[in-house]
Structure formats: structure tokens, C-alpha cells
């Protein structure tokens, strides 16, 4: 007697479960594709073309792109592999049953590897009610093979076999999806690491501009309103009558700087703090303490 073929009808309950898993897998593909697109688009906005040949940063940037894209492509391939599915026949269920010997409660590496490698056989061994009262799929197979075409109850037996095959397909897909989630997580983490490596290597930070040097410069009457002179060297500069209102002189060096009727960054006149010296000359004029607008 011919054995029932791969599951074709299947209960709506099992079909709905498989459709839900496959829909989630499709969203995985969309998300992975978006990550890959970000990686490729980011290369257009980077400074990788300006990196000198043979530089360590260039090698790291290229390595980041390769690692990131390969990780994403591998993860997408795993999703597609799950979406492809597997056609099950009752003989496959029997083979899964024969490949398992341990109960779910059994501990040890061998039992764990068996449960991971043969989730279908493990399920039916721990859920024997799913076999319709029979002791094993092999017993069902033998009864079917020995039955005449007009045997009473044969249709019910075939229906049970098809239901078991349908259940096996759902269990197998669910197991593969659980493994897929871990693989996707690994692929995304590796891909993200590649993106970060690429972004860091392809966009070197610009070296800080050296502070401007106005050492001993003559800036009498100069209009420097709003100028950026942060960390500037103004040693010995002549700032007589200069207007520095709103200028940024934070961190500036003002040793021996000449201040006279100078408008400081905060609007103060440098001569406000000046005092007559022993020779009746104004001394002590300074913008020190008034270098921030």
C-alpha cells in the first residue's frame, strides 16, 4: 500500500502558525536589508577616498565594510533558508522518532544535542497523546502498510498520519525559527561592529588647528569685535585703542600685553582698573578677568 505523501491539506491552526513564523522571518529580511543599505550609503558620506593607500585606517575601513556586509548577507541567507521550508512525509516522522532516545527531562550533553538536532522526535516522545493513542509513529506506519484498501477505519488512520505530518512541519519550522533568532542576533551584532569600525576608520577626526599667534603684534586701534582668539598668544601685543567687544579670548596668553583704552570682550574699558603710579602715569590697565564676552 502506498504511504501518504507530504502534507498538503493540514489544519488551519498549523498553517496559521507557520504563516506567522514566515511573516516574522520576512520582517527580519527587511530589517537586515535596511542595515545593509545604511552601511552602503554611509560609505558615500565617509572620507574613505581621502585615506592614503597602505594606511592602517584604510585597511580597517575596508575590513569593516566587508565584515558588516558579509554578516548581513549571512543572516539574510539564514532567513531565506528558513522561509524555504521543508516538505515532510510520514517516513520522516518515523526517522525522527528513531533518532531520539532521551526524554526532555534527561540531562547531559548528549540529551541536549539530541533535542536540538531532532526537535520533532523529541516532541512526539514527550507528547505521546499527539500520536492518537498509538505507541509510536513506527506502529502507525506498520498498521498502515499492512492494511487493505477497504479496511475499516483506514480513512481515520490516514487523517491521523496527515495531522502528525502537519504537526511535525510546524514543530520543525518553529525550532528552526528559534535558532534563527539567535543567528540573526549574532549577525546583527557582527554587522553593527563592522559599521562602527568602518565609521571610525573612514572618518578620522580633524587635527586641532594651532592657536593663532599674535606675539608682539601691533594692533593699535584694531577692530576685533566678535573675533575668535581662543588660546591665542598675545604675548607683548600692543592692544592700544583696540575694540575687542564680543571677542573670545578664553585661554589666551596675555603676558606683557599692552592695554590702553582697550575695549575688553565684555565691554569693559581696560583703563578702568588703571591707577596713577609714582610718576603720575596711568598703570595697571588690563583686560585680565574680562576676556569672555
User: Within 10 Å of residue 15's Cβ, how many Cβ atoms?
Assistant: 15
| Residue matched to cell numbers 502558525 | 17
Query: What does R_g of the chain's alpha carbons equal in angstroms?
Result: 39
Q: What is the pLDDT along the chain (293 residues), one digit of tens a residue?
A: 445 544 444 455 555 555 656 665 565 666 656 665 655 555 544 555 566 677 787 788 778 777 877 777 777 777 777 677 678 889 999 998 988 875 555 566 776 777 778 888 888 888 888 898 898 899 999 988 888 877 788 888 899 998 899 888 888 888 887 877 787 778 778 877 877 787 777 766 655 566 778 899 999 999 999 888 888 899 999 999 999 999 988 888 888 899 988 999 999 998 887 776 655 555 778 888 888 88
Say how many residues make up the chain.
293
- First-residue to last-residue Cα distance in the chain: 97
Compute the distance between CA of residue 153 and CA of residue 159 in angstroms, rounded to an integer: 10
Residues 6+ apart with CB under 8 A from 15: none
Q: What is the pTM of this model?
A: 0.49
Alpha-carbon gap, residue 139 to 98, rounded angstroms: 12
Q: What is the residue whose three cell numbers read 507528547?
A: 127
Class of domain 210-293 (CATH, top level):
mainly beta
Closest of 185, 136, 195 to residue 161, by C-alpha: 136
Question: What ranges do the domains of the chain cover?
Answer: 12-202, 210-293
Long-range CB contacts for residues 5-12, cutoff 8 Å, separation at least 24:
5/89, 6/87, 6/88, 6/89, 6/165, 7/87, 7/88, 7/162, 7/165, 7/166, 7/169, 9/162, 9/166, 10/162, 10/166, 10/169, 11/163, 11/166
Amino acid at each position: 500500500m502506498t504511504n501518504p505523501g507530504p502534507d498538503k491539506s493540514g489544519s488551519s491552526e498549523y498553517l496559521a502558525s507557520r504563516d506567522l513564523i514566515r511573516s516574522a522571518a520576512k520582517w527580519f529580511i527587511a530589517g537586515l536589508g535596511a542595515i545593509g543599505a545604511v552601511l552602503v550609503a554611509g560609505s558615500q558620506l565617509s572620507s574613505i577616498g581621502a585615506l592614503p593607500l597602505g594606511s592602517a585606517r584604510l585597511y580597517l575601513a575596508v575590513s569593516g565594510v566587508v565584515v558588516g556586509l558579509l554578516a548581513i548577507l549571512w543572516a539574510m541567507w539564514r532567513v531565506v533558508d528558513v522561509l524555504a521550508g521543508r516538505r515532510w512525509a510520514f517516513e520522516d516522522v518515523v526517522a525522527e522518532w528513531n533518532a531520539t532516545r532521551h526524554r526532555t527531562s534527561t540531562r547531559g550533553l548528549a540529551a541536549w544535542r539530541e533535542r536540538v538536532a531532532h526537535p520533532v522526535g523529541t516532541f512526539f516522545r514527550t507528547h505521546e497523546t499527539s500520536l492518537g493513542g498509538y505507541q509510536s509513529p513506527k506502529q502507525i506506519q506498520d498498521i498502515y502498510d499492512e492494511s487493505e484498501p477497504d479496511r475499516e477505519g483506514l480513512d481515520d488512520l490516514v487523517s491521523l498520519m496527515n495531522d502528525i505530518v502537519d504537526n511535525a512541519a510546524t514543530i520543525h519550522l518553529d525550532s528552526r525559527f528559534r535558532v534563527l533568532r539567535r543567528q540573526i542576533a549574532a549577525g546583527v551584532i557582527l554587522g553593527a561592529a563592522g559599521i562602527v569600525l568602518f565609521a571610525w576608520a573612514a572618518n578620522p577626526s580633524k587635527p586641532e588647528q594651532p592657536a593663532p599667534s599674535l606675539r608682539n603684534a601691533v594692533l593699535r586701534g584694531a577692530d576685533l569685535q566678535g573675533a575668535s582668539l581662543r588660546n591665542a598668544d598675545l604675548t607683548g601685543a600692543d592692544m592700544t585703542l583696540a575694540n575687542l567687544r564680543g571677542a573670545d579670548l578664553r585661554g589666551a596668553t596675555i603676558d606683557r600685553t599692552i592695554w590702553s583704552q582697550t575695549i575688553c570682550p565684555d565691554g569693559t574699558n581696560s583703563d578702568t582698573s588703571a591707577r596713577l603710579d609714582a610718576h603720575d602715569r596711568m598703570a595697571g590697565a588690563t583686560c585680565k578677568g574680562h576676556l569672555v564676552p
